[in-house]
Amino acid sequence: MTSPEPSTPETSAIERRFPLLRGGHIPWQVAECAYREYAKRYGRSQSLERLAERGGFDQAELDELHPGWRLEVELLPRLRSELSALRQELEEARAERDGLRRAARLVAECKRHGCRFCKPALRRALGEERHADPS
């Protein structure tokens, strides 16, 4: 019998896997959805952990308990990948925003002091490489 993968700080609930009786695994989250219906029908005499220790759910059982499980299993990896890409885009946007804020502070400071824009300093604030001044 396949025992469930233990949850550790390195293994989040998203990554944790639940065994299937005839081989294979599904995400733990999907098994939790099926278990909610299982508990309504049959009670909570066996925990989800115990069901996993005993080999998990059968695919036909999952079809009855959680009809959308197959679609979820197909979609979850793609959604995780998209989420990861969106998080990366967010970090890049935050870094760009922070650079623009630094540049805005520099421009405001130059205006307060009445000096002309310090182009090399502005370029540094924006994170750009030094370029020869075209003027």
Kindly list the domain boundaries of the chain, sorted by start residue: 1-67
- Pick from 75, 87, 88: nearest CA to 14: 75
Question: Taking 70 as the threshold, does the pLDDT of residue 8 lie above it?
Answer: no
Outline where DSSP puts E strands in 6-75: 17-19, 25-27
Tell me the pLDDT tens digit for each residue of 47-95.
999 999 999 999 999 999 999 999 888 887 788 889 999 999 999 999 9
How far, in whole angstroms, is CA 30 from its chain's centroid? Answer: 16
pLDDT per residue over 90-112, tens digit each?
Answer: 999 999 999 889 888 877 877 77
- The model carries a pTM of 0.51
Q: In angstroms, what CA-CA distances link 43 with 13, 36, 59? A: 23, 10, 20
